[in-house]
Amino acid sequence: MKKILFSLLFSLIIVISTNYAFAQNVEDTIVILETTQGEIIIEFFHLDAPKHTENFILLSENGDYDGLLFHRIIPGFMIQSGDPNSLSGDPNTWGQGGNGILSDRIDAEFNNIKHDRGIVSMARAQDPNSAGSQFFIVHQDSHFLDEQYTVFGRIVTESSFETLDKIAGVQTVSNDRPNNPEQVRIISATIVERSEISNIMNLSEPSRTGSTVTAIPEFTIFENKELDVKFAAPVGWLLQQPPKSSEDSPDVVAVGPEINGVNPYISLTIKNAIGKTLDDLIEEKNQMLDQASYLNKLEILDQQKIKSNVYQTEAVGTFVVDDVELKIKFIEAMIFTNEKLYTFAYSNTIENFDNDLSKFTESVNSFEILSQQSFESKSTEEKIIQQSEEGGGCLIATAAYGSELAPQVQMLRELRDNQLMNTESGSAFMSGFNELYYTFSPTIADMERESPMFKEAVKLGLTPMLSTLAIMESAETESEVLGLGLSVIALNLGMYIGLPAFGIVKVIQLRKN
């Protein structure tokens, strides 16, 4: 039984069983190419080339490599296959076909693994981002290819190397084609688990060039218009959309690398909640939690409504897999909006839970509904209301709300949106201003709410500044934004620093006289 296939009594809690059933242990996945010369067994470097690995595995699973030839054979260099044209097409077209299964072309994932004997790498055209289904296996070390082609796997048994040598040794004709194609045909490609192969060699880590290839970002963006969602997913995690077997099964699953026999995962489940409230959904959830708790299979650590439309649950589940008891920790965030429930879930062993918790947090924080605003990015008015309720907030908006200054605050927003944000200088200014401004404005806003007199003082002090900002209405070009912006800054420096300083100097002089 697979270590990550759990028989869960509370599968609807965080849909763990469906996720793990789909998200097979990526690092344990092996592909067996059964050829007319023998078998070739391939393991994968998922973290170094996640998209190429996923592409190759899915093509194999789909039967796309069955019946294809090793159409290009260069002894001492490599053997190449994966072109569907070699199934029955004109030999003159061999090497010219083959799309990827994730997309027609797979972007390069060049890494620093050396092209040593037995390495499996992706073929491509002159465009680095042109990989499809064609791949090659290195016959003898070919380090001139390093960092120019995407390495994504290697062969791992002695019999595989024997098969490699047999294929490399067949007679070839022009264009490195096999003289007798039937000698070098792939009969089938099969997906198995590593545990099913008994003769895997004890190989060390692959050799690397020692140089650093272009840094891989920590997150990639998943966007699906059909699901109407967009969020950040960890780079190097297997990102897939499993078949939807029930309304509680996940729509998107990201599976991380195995640690101590268990893969962490992050999932998103989307379900309709027409006619329901968040409290209704919480009650349904708790009914399922209670059943699992009653059976001593679940311990609830924490439950709280962290926002008006977001409910978070943390729990620890106990599972017995292959007579071994595992403690798995879960966290899920239920996001209720527009009569739909979006549930993000993350699970890992208790020991490793904190290692990837930040990845889950980033996925949730980056979540957007494409047809609406970002879950985090709300309109200015909504932010004012929410921050007033939850603490913190915009000191200008709080001071001006419901007062005679409200029209000037609205003018400031319109200036930001219509003038400032349409120019590079304006955008840079607003970004810097916002970063500084929100380091202190929540504290001031809280003080305003606690003291009406302090609020009036802020209001009185803001009036001159808001009035001077009207100057920016006439700014239309980059240079005008820059020039008028400097003028406004100078004017405010004069009002808020220059005049008070001048007054203080005069008072001191009068006292001396």
**What is the rounded distance in angstroms from the CA atom of residue 215 to the CA atom of residue 226?**
31
- The residue to which tokens 């932010």 are assigned: 383
The reply to whether 219-369 shares the fold of 24-196 is no
Count of H helices and E strands in the chain? Answer: 14, 18
- Residue spans of the domains in the chain: they are 24-196, 219-369, 380-510
**pLDDT score for 290:** 79
**pLDDT score for 419:** 47
Tally of CB atoms within 10 A around 361: 14
Residue 304 and residue 312 in contact, taking contact as beta carbons nearer than 8 Å: yes
Q: Which residues of the chain have pLDDT under 70?
A: 1-27, 211-217, 294, 321-322, 373-452, 454-513
**pLDDT score for 132:** 93
**What is the rounded distance in angstroms from the CA atom of residue 385 to the CA atom of residue 311?**
20
pLDDT tens, position by position, 371-405:
875 444 444 344 433 443 344 444 444 444 344 44
In sequence order, what are the residues at sequence separation of 6 or more whose Cβ sits closer than 8 angstroms to the Cβ of residue 465?
492, 495, 496
**pLDDT score for 96:** 87
Name the residue among 147, 145, 81 with its Cα closest to residue 117. Answer: 145
Q: Kindly list the distances between the CA atom of residue 101 and the CA atoms of 9, 33, 87, 256, in Å, as whole numbers in the listed order.
A: 35, 18, 17, 21
Which H or E run includes 219?
strand 219-224
Which H or E run includes 334?
strand 324-337
In the CATH scheme, what architecture does the domain 24-196 have? Beta Barrel (2.40)
**pLDDT score for 389:** 39
Q: Which residue type occupies 27?
A: E
Name the residue among 346, 344, 312, 472 with its Cα closest to residue 408. Answer: 472
**pLDDT score for 390:** 41
3-state DSSP call for residue 502?
A: helix
Q: Kindly list the distances between the CA atom of residue 403 and the CA atoms of 400, 445, 461, in Å, as whole numbers in the listed order.
A: 5, 15, 14
**pLDDT score for 338:** 86
In the CATH scheme, what architecture does the domain 219-369 have? 3-Layer(aba) Sandwich (3.40)
**pLDDT score for 36:** 96
Q: Which residue type occupies 180?
A: N
Name the residue among 235, 228, 216 with its Cα closest to residue 363. Answer: 235
DSSP one-letter code for 92: G
Tally of CB atoms within 10 A around 370: 13
**What is the rounded distance in angstroms from the CA atom of residue 330 to the CA atom of residue 350?**
9
**What is the rounded distance in angstroms from the CA atom of residue 193 to the CA atom of residue 57?**
12
Residue 8 and residue 24 in contact, taking contact as beta carbons nearer than 8 Å: no
